[in-house]
Amino acid sequence: MDKNIGWELYRTFLAVLQEGSLSGAARGLGITQPTAGRHIEALERALKVTLFTRSQTGLQPTDVAIALRSHAETMQSTAESLERAARDHGEGAQAQGVVRVAASEVVGVEVLPPIIAALRERHPRLVIELVLSNRVQDLLKREADVAVRMVRPAQRQLVARRIGNIELGLHAHRDYLAAHGTPRNLTALWEHAIIGYDRPTAFVREASKAFPGYTRAALSLRTDTDLAQLALIRAGAGIGVCQVELARRNDKLVRLLPKLVALQLETWVTMHENLRNSAGCRATFDALVDGLLQYVR
């Protein structure tokens, strides 16, 4: 196996995986289609494997290609980190360049925008990529540079700052309660339209321990999108769980049974320790910490 395989071959390989064709990969990379084809052929010769098979729908990755994808993505992230570090040190360590921020759906849409807006006012040369997902992004593989997490980071290679707990509670719109009444206990609660999950997650399973009866069968409206659950609560469709602080911003939302249902989301801001010297990542990390501390308090 050739030990001196150029990064451009892996970059083309990853682009073909993402685009599904040589032509799409070539357009994305700014190279010609024949060049992309030569890159794939050269990589297959160097690795002594077949990476793609041709079909009527385009290039189909083999099992080997699928197994190599995560490694190629790690190489791409490392290359981007190298370029960012060079920029930071080469231009007076100003806060600039691209910083990829990962957060949950609700935090990313409802909490972070004003924090990011203020950050960009202070550092207009920063480019922020906001990734919204309830999946925990892998900072070690550089899927994101800075992440807001609702779970304590376990990896030693991460810089982490604990923000505190974000409290969740049951809420309903005043119009819903006016039409259907206000439940005064858990028994009465389950007679109402309850908004919740479709497929259980680790958090849902943990929450169910503190929220007796919170099962899929008891839910009248089911969706795994937290933003959709929040929208349904605001629309007066039923009773659901949302962040207490978000509900306080809307005087038409009423918290229900606070002594019986009070869930806690432990919140952290994290980044890879290798990004300590990146002025852009450092500025973003600090801004998220300060903004989320104010939100929690």
129 located within any domain: yes
Are 17 and 43 in a shared domain? yes
3-state secondary structure the chain: CCCCCCHHHHHHHHHHHHHCCHHHHHHHHCCCHHHHHHHHHHHHHHHCCCCEEEECCEEEECHHHHHHHHHHHHHHHHHHHHHHHHHHHHCCCCCCEEEEEEECHHHHHHHHHHHHHHHHHHCCCEEEEEEECCCCCCCCCCCCCEEEECCCCCCCCEEEEEEEEEEEEEEEEHHHHHHHCCCCCHHHHCCCCEEECCCCCHHHHHHHHHCCCCCHHHCCEECCCHHHHHHHHHCCCCEEEEEHHHHHCCCCEEEECCCCCCEEEEEEEEEEHHHCCCHHHHHHHHHHHHHHHHHHC
Are 251 and 175 in a shared domain? yes
Rounded average pLDDT per 10-residue block, the chain, 297 residues? 77 91 90 92 92 83 92 81 63 72 94 96 93 68 82 78 94 97 93 92 78 86 94 97 94 94 91 83 94 92
Are 40 and 102 in a shared domain? no
97 located within any domain: yes
Which of 57, 86, 115 terminates a domain? The answer is 86
Supply the pLDDT for residue 88: 59
The CATH number of residue 177's host domain is 3.40.190.10
107 located within any domain: yes
2 located within any domain: no
Which of 26, 53, 86 terminates a domain? The answer is 86
Are 98 and 126 in a shared domain? yes
Which of 31, 66, 86 terminates a domain? The answer is 86
58 located within any domain: yes
Domain count, the chain: 3
Supply the pLDDT for residue 136: 62
Are 180 and 253 in a shared domain? yes
Supply the pLDDT for residue 113: 97
Does the predicted TM-score (pTM) go above 0.75?
no
* 279-290 residue pLDDT tens: 888 999 999 999
Are 122 and 189 in a shared domain? no
Supply the pLDDT for residue 70: 87
Are 231 and 178 in a shared domain? yes
Residue range(s) defining the domain that contains residue 118 = 93-157+268-296
Task: Taking the CA atoms of 9, 13, 19 and 22 in sequence, report the sign of the dihedral they define.
Answer: positive
Are 214 and 276 in a shared domain? no
Supply the pLDDT for residue 85: 63
The CATH number of residue 62's host domain is 1.10.10.10
Supply the pLDDT for residue 54: 83
Are 175 and 56 in a shared domain? no
148 located within any domain: yes
178 located within any domain: yes
Are 277 and 152 in a shared domain? yes
Helix (H) or strand (E) holding 65: helix 63-90
Are 60 and 152 in a shared domain? no
Supply the pLDDT for residue 212: 77
Report CA 126 to chain centroid distance, whole Å: 19
Supply the pLDDT for residue 80: 72
Supply the pLDDT for residue 211: 78
